[in-house]
Amino acid sequence: MRGSTPQTIDTAPPVGDDETVSTIAPSPSPLGDDVPLRDDIQPASNETLDRFLTGTMTVLPFLGLGVVGWQLWNSALHWHDLVVFAIVYGVTTLGITVGFHRMLTHRAFETHPWLRGTIAAMGSAAIEGPVISWVADHRKHHAFADQEGDPHSPHVDHGHGLGGALRGLFHAHVGWLFKHDQRALKTRYAKDLIDDPVIAFVNRTFVLWVAVGLVAPFCLGWAIGGSLTAGLTGLLWGGLVRILVLHHVTYSINSLCHFFGRKPYETGDESRNLAWLAPLSMGESWHNNHHAFPTSAAHGLRWWQVDVSALVIRGLERAGLVWNVVRISPERQAAKSSARL
């Protein structure tokens, strides 16, 4: 796989198929010998501002949790807060898992432009960065998984022993967001999305979708709870607490799912399946399955592997809204099984 015939981005958008995962980057040189180049790296337009905003979005939800604790201390938690949390968490998480990840990064299915834009906007409201840089970084992660060039591997250059493991986990979880030395060059890793007018628009209007993702829980809380206070607690639960939970679930895919869990497939990296995280991550924590078959619309490959995102894609397919859904045959799965070796 790695080292197969390199292709250029003009002829093959980097979609991360398991047959072409090593050909994600268009330049032959970082593929042929697995060495990331300096011009592979996206320069930060304003590094200080970027760090400030990332720091704000990392710390603010914890402050929100503190307010939640204070709120619980003084009065009981209301059911409408949890309803708002569940709705907004569901919508924004699916935007990331079905949209940013399976649809745009790996091209696991095709859909109408309006639905593509809608799902990308839902993912933008998760505040994990604008869609194009998210996709570019994730494609680079697959291209150099757990090797030099991977933007968030817990296994590269963090030292040995317990200290090295903890440093690696911290880097993969959140530390890498503050470093800009391995970010993917967008023109190389996501040129197809830059050229897609729908996605380029959603990318350009990122801040608008972030705002919608905060106004919506306020309005939902007000509508369901029937008071301004319910609107404000809706904002707290559907906004800050939702951001906190979703961020750390996503971060855990990068950290925990490259460290703990089972490896049913030979992937040449440290990706793992972490069953307990599957419900909250909506199927993303079947991460070894995913590295084995990146274009697969389903990450849960057994009937018992909970994967809500795959169920949503199947539902959209039955409704005729998505098509060309990628499925992996049992023969292909068996060929990569660790048990076979």
Q: Considering the complex, state which of residue 111 and residue 271 has its C-beta at the smaller distance from Zn ion.
A: 271
Residue 152 Cβ, how far from Zn ion at the closest point, in Å? 8
Burial class (CB in 10 A: 0-12, 13-18, 19+), 275: middle
Q: Considering the complex, state which of residue 222 and residue 293 has its C-beta at the smaller distance from Zn ion.
A: 293
Q: Considering the complex, state which of residue 93 and residue 271 has its C-beta at the smaller distance from Zn ion.
A: 271
Q: Considering the complex, state which of residue 176 and residue 222 has its C-beta at the smaller distance from Zn ion.
A: 176
Closest chain position to Zn ion (CB): 271
Per the CB < 8 A criterion, the answer to whether 218 and 80 are in contact is no
Q: Which two tokens stand for residue 111?
A: 């859909």
Q: Considering the complex, state which of residue 145 and residue 220 has its C-beta at the smaller distance from Zn ion.
A: 145
Residue 143 Cβ, how far from Zn ion at the closest point, in Å? 11
Q: 65 in helix, strand or coil?
A: helix
Residue 290 Cβ, how far from Zn ion at the closest point, in Å? 6
What is the contact surface with Zn ion in residues (CB under 5 A)?
Answer: 271
**Interstrand relation of 110-111 and 322-323 (parallel, antiparallel or unpaired):** antiparallel
Q: Considering the complex, state which of residue 271 and residue 289 has its C-beta at the smaller distance from Zn ion.
A: 271
Residue 313 Cβ, how far from Zn ion at the closest point, in Å? 15
Name 337's bridge partners: 265
Per the CB < 8 A criterion, the answer to whether 4 and 20 are in contact is yes
Q: Considering the complex, state which of residue 124 and residue 289 has its C-beta at the smaller distance from Zn ion.
A: 289
Residue 271 Cβ, how far from Zn ion at the closest point, in Å? 5
Distance CA 266, CA 335 (A): 9
Residue 311 Cβ, how far from Zn ion at the closest point, in Å? 19
Name 323's bridge partners: 110
**CA-based angle 74:235:63, to the nearest 5?**
65
Residue 261 Cβ, how far from Zn ion at the closest point, in Å? 12
In the block, residue with structure tokens 């959209």: 316
Tell whether the torsion through CA atoms of 14, 20, 26 and 31 is positive or negative.
positive
* DSSP strands (E only) in 62-137: 110-111
Long-range contacts of 330-333 (CB under 8 A, 24+ apart): 332/293, 333/265, 333/292, 333/293, 333/301
Give the Å distances, CA to CA, from 97 to 130, 204, 313: 15, 20, 10
Q: Considering the complex, state which of residue 233 and residue 254 has its C-beta at the smaller distance from Zn ion.
A: 254
Per the CB < 8 A criterion, the answer to whether 209 and 202 are in contact is yes
Residue 123 Cβ, how far from Zn ion at the closest point, in Å? 14
